[in-house]
Amino acid sequence: MKKIVYSITMCLLVFSTGCEDTLLDLNNPAQLDTESFIVDDTSAQQAVVGIYSAFQDTNVGGAVPIQLLGLYADEFSHTGSFPTYNEYFVNNVTATGNVNNSNIWSSYYAAIFRANSVITSLNALTGGEVTESVKTASLAEAKALRAYFYFFLVQAYGGVPIPEGLVTQEGSAAGNVVRSSESEVYAYIQADINDALNNLNDNGVYRFSNDALRVLKAKVHMALAEYGEAEDALEPLIGNYSLVDDYADLYEAGSNSEAIFKLNYSTDDSNSLAFYFYPSAEGGRREVAPTGTLVDGFEAGDERLGLIRDPLDQSAVILTKYSDVATGTDQPNIYRYADVLLMYAELLARNDDPSASNYINEVRDRAGVGDVVLTSSNYVELIGQERFLELYGEGNRWFDVKRLGLAQDVIESKGLNFNANRLLFPIPQSEINANDLITQDDQNPGY
């Protein structure tokens, strides 16, 4: 991995608890010297808040990746008119013409650049401008967020560039940096996690906590087939949270007994989640809708099916986990306890631990369906299906089926031919053209 750091000036920070989009805009011509970027505890803490503004981008934590990943799997069908959405639905995303793919890539790198700016500026401090406790916690939070962003990218694209410090982002969204290998990206993610773990403050469900980082750590280990380490990461959470009684309550604003990490949208920003699910009669555009595979997968009496409906036309099925069509203030769950229980159940089942069934059945009991027996011979099918039904519309399905080895079955169930090259999305051609250190040879195979 080649490290390229340029000397540039930091951009003007417009601090706001509402996470305005202008926070840490690297293309803003109004700039401050790097030394003026973080000057005290308040500015350090506000700079971290700026990273969450990038997280709230529609192409990062909002509607676009959640819906496109669902289309790429068997979660959603394409019911609208966007041709770029249809490319995901038919598992044939083009490198040159898909603006959604390019926007996701550039938006995730914009979020990474914000994290890098905070980390670089904090590390450059030499005096006592920022108290040690605030500096430690702020560095940890920025690294936790950066690890989250890279984990999405490595799952979606494989190896990606790893820009460090302050680098120019003109033209190249990734900052004119070589493409690192997949193993290098995972090592970088794990280094950030290890640096951050146990150094985060508990600032509520809208901020990265140590428990949220443990969930990310477990997911990374599971992606790498490091199952013992994943189990160790999750154990501190088991029993320290509880499922809410009513599944629908998970999608209300605010904290609850199950929430570990959520994104806090307000009327100042928008995730567009409900807008893209709801029909025009309700103020939306119904660009995507739950598939028959999803709807038909629920057992009789499963209460989770209650959030897949249409209040005006029962023949036009829609997802109603998100309901604020007008302003997009729904608060999507990033991590919640049911996800942890299903991960833990899988990890135990891999070792034929009989207690594995207890954890999947805790989730099923809340849904109002009967118990199952989870073993090393059936966990792929049962965990894959339970995660499908429990976490639909939350951005998990495609990465789940890839990790569990179900991608071919899922794609062929849509009537499509399976192409192993399509397990990864293409590096946007715009990045290859703009990045001086990436060539066509760096493109994922088959594109």
pLDDT tens figures, 135-157? 999 999 999 999 999 999 999 99
What is the rounded CA–CA span in Å between residue 123 and residue 107? 24
- Check residue 243 and give its pLDDT: 98
Any domain includes 121: yes
Cα 93 from chain centroid (whole Å) = 19
Is the separation of the CB atoms in 289 and 317 below 8 Å? yes
Task: Determine how β-strand 259-262 pairs with β-strand 31-32.
Answer: unpaired
Per the DSSP assignment, residues forming a β-bridge with 11 are 31
Number of domains in the chain: 1
Select from 109, 96, 103, 108 the least CA-distant residue to 177. Answer: 109
How many Å apart are CA 117 and CA 383, to the nearest integer? 39
Phi first, then psi, for residue 161 (nearest 5°) are -65, 150
Q: What is the pLDDT of residue 102?
A: 97
Q: Evaluate whether 219 touches 387 at the Cβ level (below 8 Å).
A: no
Identify the CATH number of the domain in which residue 353 sits: 1.25.40.390
pLDDT at 349: 98
The structure's pTM equals: 0.93
User: What are the pLDDT digits (tens) for 71-115?
Assistant: 999 999 999 999 999 999 999 999 998 999 999 999 999 999 999
In-domain check, residue 209: yes
Q: Is residue 303 part of a domain?
A: no
pLDDT of residue 420: 96
Close Cβ partners of 157 (under 8 Å, ≥ 6 residues apart): 105, 424, 425, 427, 444
DSSP 8-state symbol, 341: H
3-state SS class at 228: helix
Of 276, 352, 317, 341, nearest to 63 by C-alpha is 276
The angle that helices 63-72 and 99-124 make with each other, rounded to 10 degrees, is 130
> Hey, what's the torsion of the CAs at 341, 345, 347, 351, to 10 degrees?
160
Q: Are strands 288-290 and 76-78 parallel, antiparallel or unpaired?
A: antiparallel
Domain-embedded: residue 255: yes
- For residue 171, tell me if it sits in a domain: yes
- In angstroms, rounded to a whole number, what is the distance separating the alpha carbons of residues 32 and 9? 6
CA gap 37, 108 in Å, rounded? 22
* Residue 191, domain member (yes or no): yes
CB neighbourhood size of 299 (10 A): 13
- 367-317-340 Cα angle (round to 5): 30
Place of tokens 């493409």: 179
The answer to the question of residue 357 being in a domain is yes
| Tens-level pLDDT at each residue, the chain (447 residues) | 333 333 333 332 333 333 333 333 333 323 334 445 899 999 999 999 999 999 999 999 999 999 999 999 999 999 999 999 999 999 999 999 899 999 999 999 999 999 999 999 999 998 888 999 999 999 999 999 999 999 999 999 999 999 987 766 677 999 999 999 999 999 999 999 999 999 999 999 999 999 999 999 999 999 999 999 999 999 999 999 999 999 999 999 999 999 999 999 988 888 999 999 999 988 999 999 999 999 999 999 999 999 998 756 656 799 999 999 999 999 999 999 999 999 999 999 999 999 999 999 999 999 999 999 999 999 999 999 999 999 999 999 999 999 999 999 999 999 999 999 999 999 999 999 999 999 999 999 999
Angle at 276 between CA 89 and CA 19, to 5 degrees: 115
Per the CB < 8 A criterion, the answer to whether 394 and 68 are in contact is no
Q: Judge whether 433 lies within some domain.
A: yes
Distance CA 154, CA 161 (A): 10
- How much is the CA Rg of the chain, to the nearest whole Å? 21
Domain range for 219 is 10-264+332-438
